Amino acid sequence: MPIPEVVDPISINSKDPIPTENSSSSVRNEREDRSDDLNSKPSSESSESASVPDNTGLPIVPKPDIGLPRAGRRKNRNGSEEKSRINMAIDLAKELQLFFFHTPEGEAFASLPVHDHRETFALEDRSFENFFASTFYAKEKVNLPKKDFVEVRSIFIGEALYKGPEKRVHIRLAEKDGFIYLDLGNKEWEMVRVSKNGWEITKTAPVIFRRVRGMKSLPRPTKGGSIEDLRPYINVTDEKSWVLVIAFLIAALRPVGPYPILAIEGEQGSAKSTTSEVLRRLIDPSTAPLRSAPRDERDLIISASNSACLAFENLSSVPPWLSDALCRMATGSGFSTRRLYSDADEKLFDAARPVILNGIHIGISNGDLFDRSLIVRAPAISEQTRRTEAEFWREFDKGQPGILGALLDAVACALGRIATLKLPTLPRMADFAAWATAAEPALGWRDGTFLDAYSTNRQAASELSLENSPLLGPIENLLRERESWEGTASMLLVLLLEFARTDHLPMKNWPGSAGSLSGMLRRLRPSLKAVGIHLEFDQTSGRNSKKIIRLTRDLGGENSGH
C-alpha cells in the first residue's frame, strides 16, 4: 500500500517536547540534535506540490505550537544505533502531516491531506489504527507492535486534546454561514452546497466531514426532478400522510434539529420496511439501513454517533427508557455514557438526529413521544401490484438523482424563506413546522398544506396515546360520578388499580410505584387535556406538606366525552 501523497504541508513545532512514559532520559539525551518535531515543514518536494483545497475548515498553516518527542534509539546486533518503532511512527506522522484537534465534546481527531482532499480520523477509532498500521508497514516494511502504537496514539491524543484547536466534526450534513453542506460520500469527495438561491456540487467547504464505517455514497443530484417521482416508492394511505413523509425528508436534510420521529405502522406485506429503507437511502444511505431496536442507551448513542439518520424496524413496543431517549435524540438533548473498559471517563453526545420507526403496531404510549412523532399507515400491497426487489431498487436507483435534486430545491427554498416566515400559531416542534412550511412553494403545495396535515396527525396521535395507555379507562371511571379528585400519587395508584381489576384490564405496562404513576401521568397530560381531563401537580403547605395530584373533568364542550 503506497503512502498517501502529501501536499499542502502543515507546519507545527514546539520547543518543549512531551516525554513519553518510558523515554524521558532518552529524550533529554537527544534534545540537542532533535530536529523533526511532528508536522515541522518538510524540505522534500511535497512542500512544493499543488495545494489541497481548504475543504475542512482547518487552517492551512496552523500556528506552530505543537511538537512531539523522540523516543530513544536502540542498538542492533552489530552495536550500531537504529531507530525505535516509536521514532519511526513519529517520523511517519510528520511525513503524513497529521493535524491534531478536538471537538467540543472532547473527542480527539487527526486530519491529513490526501491527494486533492483531506481525510479525518477519530484517534480512538479502529479505523485510525488500521490506517496508521497499514501505512507504517508500507513505508518501513516492518509491523508496528500494538504496545508501540498504543504509546504513540496516547501522545497524539494528548496533542489533540491539550494543544490542538477545537473544531466541530460532522457526519453527512453541516451548516456554516447560512449554507448547508451535504457530503455525498463518494470517492471523489464531493459535497453539495445549498444556499437560498439554489444548490451546486463542490469539493470545498469550510467544515470538517468524517466518513464512518458503513457509510454509503449518495448519487450526484440532478436538476429538474420532481418530488412526485418519489410516489411509486412510498407506500402510505392518504395525501396527508404523503405530506408528512416529505416534510420529514426536508427536515432530515437540515443539519440542526429539532427533528420529528417518523413512525410507520402497517400489517405484514405493507412494505413498511421498504418504505423506511427508501427514506434512509435518500438522506443517509448505509450498509445497514435498518436496525433492530437498541438494547440500551449506549447502543442508541453509538448508532447516533455514526449516522446522520436512525432507522429501527419491527418494533412492537417502546419501553419508557427508549421513549425518553428518542425524545431527547429528536430535540438534541445531551447524552453521556461510560467509555468502554472505563469506570470514570464519559463519552458525550450532544446532537439531534431524525429517527424512523416501523412495526405492525409500534406501541407508543408516551405522550411526549407522540408529540414528536409523525404517525403514518402503510396499507397492504396486493399481489397484482407487488414488484420484485431487484426491479424495485433498479427503478429507484434510476430515479434517485432527480428526487434528491428536488429535495435540495425544497431545502434551498426553505433557507430563503425561513427568516421571514410567520406561522399563524406555533405548534409543538415549532421549528420543524416552520421549516417544512417554508419549503411548500418548491414542493408545489398551497399555503398551509403542511400545517393542515400536521394538525390532523397531532390530534390522531393524542387519541392513540390514550388508547395505548392502561390509565385512561380507570381515570374515566374515577371521574365518571365526580367533577374532580385530589390526593397523593399513592392514593391514586390504589384507586386506579381497583378500577382496572374490576374491569379486568391487562396489567401490561401498569405503573409499579407511585413515582412511576406520576411520570406516566405527566407524559399523558397533553393527551388527557385534549379529551377534557385536566391534570395538575401541586404541593400542600405547612410542616407536613405533601405532593398532590388533582384531576378535573370538563362538564361540557367538545372535549368532554371520549
Domains 227-464 and 470-553 share a fold: no
| Distant-in-sequence, close-in-space partners of 161: CB < 8 Å, separation ≥ 6 | 102, 106, 108
Q: Which amino acid is at 377?
A: R
The pTM assigned to this predicted structure is 0.77
* Helices marked H in 379-509: 389-417, 430-438, 440-443, 449-467, 472-478, 489-502
pLDDT (0 to 100) of residue 6: 38
CA angle 389, 392, 395 (to 5 degrees): 145
Q: Per the structure block, which three cell numbers stand in for 102?
A: 478536538
* Local structure of 254: helix, strand or coil: coil
> Which residue(s) pair with 535 in the sheet?
551
Ordered by start, the domain boundaries in the chain are: 24-167, 170-209, 227-464, 470-553
Spatial CB neighbours of 388, under 8 Å, sequence gap ≥ 6:
none
What are the residues whose beta carbons fall under 8 Å from the beta carbon of 461, sequence distance 6 or more? 370, 371, 373, 375
24, 51, 166 from 66: Cα distances, Å: 18, 22, 14
Q: How many CA atoms lie within 13 A of 526 on its CB side?
A: 18
Question: What CA dihedral angle connects 390, 392, 395 and 401, to 10 degrees?
Answer: -110
What's residue 461's pLDDT? 73
pLDDT in tens, the chain (562 residues): 444 443 333 333 333 333 333 333 333 333 333 333 444 444 343 333 334 444 455 544 343 334 555 555 555 555 444 578 999 999 999 999 999 999 998 999 999 998 888 899 999 999 999 999 999 999 999 999 999 999 999 999 999 999 999 999 999 999 999 999 999 999 999 999 999 999 999 999 999 999 998 999 999 999 999 999 999 999 998 999 999 999 999 999 999 989 999 999 999 989 999 999 999 999 999 999 999 999 998 889 888 888 999 999 999 888 888 998 999 898 887 666 655 544 445 566 677 899 999 999 887 777 778 888 999 999 998 888 888 999 999 999 999 999 999 999 999 999 999 999 999 888 888 999 999 999 999 999 999 999 999 998 887 777 777 777 888 889 999 998 788 999 999 999 999 999 888 887 777 778 889 988 998 888 788 778 878 899 999 988 877 788 999 999 886 544 444 4
Phi-psi region of 457 (alpha: psi -120 to 50; beta: other; left: phi over 0): alpha
* pLDDT tens-digit series, residues 379-400: 998 888 888 999 999 999 999 9
Residues contacting residue 389 through CB under 8 Å, at least 6 positions apart: none
Kindly report the length of the chain: 562
Distance between terminal CA atoms of the chain? Answer: 70
Which three-class secondary structure state does DSSP give residue 311?
A: strand
CATH class of 470-553: alpha beta
Distance in angstroms (rounded) separating the CA atoms of residues 179 and 12: 31
State the CATH class of domain 227-464: alpha beta
Residue 554: what pLDDT? Answer: 84
